[in-house]
Amino acid sequence: MWKKILRPLLFSIPADPETTHNFAVGCLGALGKSKLASYALRKRFFAETRPLSRTVAGIRFPNPVGLAAGFDKNAKAAHGLEALGFGFLELGTVTRHPQPGNPRPRIFRLGNDSAIINRMGFNNEGADAVARRLSSSRRFSVPVGISIGKSKITPLENAADDYLYSFEKMHPYGDYFAVNVSSPNTPGLRSLQDKSSLDKILSALDAARKKLGPKPIFVKIAPDLADEAIIEVLETCHQNNMDGIIATNTSVSREGLSTMTSEAGHAAQKFYAEAGGLSGKPLAEKSRRIVSFIRSRAPKIPIIGVGGIFNGDDAYKMLEAGANLVQIYTGFVYGGPSTARDINKRLLALAAPKQ
C-alpha cells in the first residue's frame, strides 16, 4: 500500500517535501501520544527480533536497525516512531539555541537516484525546549540517542561551550549522545573535525559526564574525509575516551547522481546542483568503505553504519563491513513505515552477524 498508493500520493502534494515530512512527524506524534494507537502500530510493524539483539557500548539494543538523526529533530514523534520496529532512535540534532535553520526550500527528492539533498541547517527548538518535552514523556521501549550540534550564532572558537550546554541539559534523557561535527549545512561546522577543535569539544564532554554520570558518546563523521583525517579523528576519540563512531553523515559530493526531474512531475530541475548534504543510495558504497576502514584501524570500537541502507541486504553488507548497528533515514522516507520491520526480517533470514 505504501509504495503503490500512499507514497505516490504524499510525494505528489504540490508543496516542497518538508511539508510532507512535517505532516508525517505530526501524524506519528499524534499516534504516539495514545498507548492504544502505539500498541496497534507495534502489532503491525514490529518483527520478532530477539536473535538480532546485541549490546553495544554497554547498551542493550533489541535489534540493530535504528533511525538516524534528522527525522525527529524536536522529539515530537518518538513514541510513534518506536512503535515501527526500530531497535533504537536518534533524536535531533539539537543545538543550545533555538534556530529556524536555512531558508526554504531546503529538501530535494532525487527519486531516480533514491536520494535526498537537504540543507536544513539544524532547525530545532533548542536544548531547553527539547529537554522539557522529554522530561514529560513516558518511558521509551528502545534506546534513545540524542544528536547535539553547534548553534549557527555561536562562533567556532566557542563551539565546545555549545556542545557542553546541550549535553548537560539533555543528559538525563539520552541513552547515548552523538556529537555532530560533520553536517555540511552549518557554516564552518566540518572544520570542528580537525584535531585541535575536536579535542576541545570531546575533552569538555568527557569531563562533564564524569560529573553527571556515564553516558556513551559517539562522534559522527563526514563521508568526505580523507583516510588520514579519519585516523586523526579516531586518535582524538581514543584520547578523550569516546565510545564509538557514527559513519557517515551526508556528503557534499554529487558523485553518482544523474540529471532528473522531481518525483512530483514538475518541470525539469537540476536538483543535483542544489547546495546541501546528499543522502541515500549514492552513499552506500562510500559509507561501507569508511566503516570497513575504521574497523581495520580500530578493531574494537563500536560503529554505527549509516548511508544508503534501504533494505535488509544493504544492512547486512554494512554489518559485514564492520558496523555493530545501522541507521536509516532516506531509506525510511522512500520505504515507508514498514522499512525497519522488513530490514529486520531479512537480517533474520540472512543470519546477520552477531556483534
Q: What pLDDT digit, counting tens, does each position of 95-125 carry?
A: 999 999 999 999 999 988 999 999 999 999 9
68's grid cell? 538516524
Residue 226 confidence (pLDDT): 97
Residue 258 confidence (pLDDT): 79
Residue 262 confidence (pLDDT): 45
Residue 179 confidence (pLDDT): 98
- How far from each other are the two terminal CA atoms of the chain, in whole angstroms? 34
DSSP assignment of 98-161 = -B--SPSP-EEEEGGGTEEEE-----B--HHHHHHHHHTSPPPSS-EEEEE---TTS-GGGHHH
Per cent of the chain over pLDDT 70 is: 92
Q: Which of 292-329 are b and which e, b meaning 16 or more Cβ less than 10 Å from the residue's Cβ?
A: bbbbeebeebbbbbbbbbbebebbbbbbebbbbbbbbb
**Has residue 271 got a pLDDT over 80?**
no
288's grid cell? 561501507
183 is catalytic: yes
Q: How far apart are CA 339 and CA 310, in angstroms?
A: 8
Q: For the beta carbon of residue 152, count every other beta carbon within 10 angstroms.
A: 18
Say if CB 284 and CB 278 are below 8 A apart. no
Topology (CATH) of 2-350:
TIM Barrel (3.20.20)
Q: For the beta carbon of residue 48, count every other beta carbon within 10 angstroms.
A: 11
**Has residue 16 got a pLDDT over 50?**
yes
Mean pLDDT on 216-244: 98
Single pTM value for the model: 0.94
Strand order in the sheet with 115-118: 107-110, 115-118, 277-280
Residue 15 confidence (pLDDT): 66
Q: Give domain limits for the chain.
A: 2-350
Residue 90 confidence (pLDDT): 98
**What's the mean pLDDT when you consider all of the chain?**
93
Beta carbons within 8 Å of 290's beta carbon, 6+ residues apart: 221, 223, 225, 230, 247, 248
Catalytic residue among 114, 183, 197, 338: 183
Confidence of residue 9 (pLDDT cuts 50, 70, 90): low
* Mean pLDDT lowest among 35-44, 206-215, 261-270: 261-270
Residue 308 confidence (pLDDT): 97
**Has residue 11 got a pLDDT over 80?**
no
* Tally of CA atoms within 13 A in the half-sphere of 14 that contains its CB: 2
**Has residue 61 got a pLDDT over 60?**
yes
Confidence of residue 265 (pLDDT cuts 50, 70, 90): very low
Which segments of the chain are extended strands (E)? Answer: 54-56, 59-61, 65-67, 88-94, 107-110, 115-118, 144-148, 176-180, 217-221, 244-247, 277-280, 303-306, 325-328
**Has residue 261 got a pLDDT over 60?**
no
Confidence of residue 264 (pLDDT cuts 50, 70, 90): very low
Residue the block writes with cell 564492520: 322
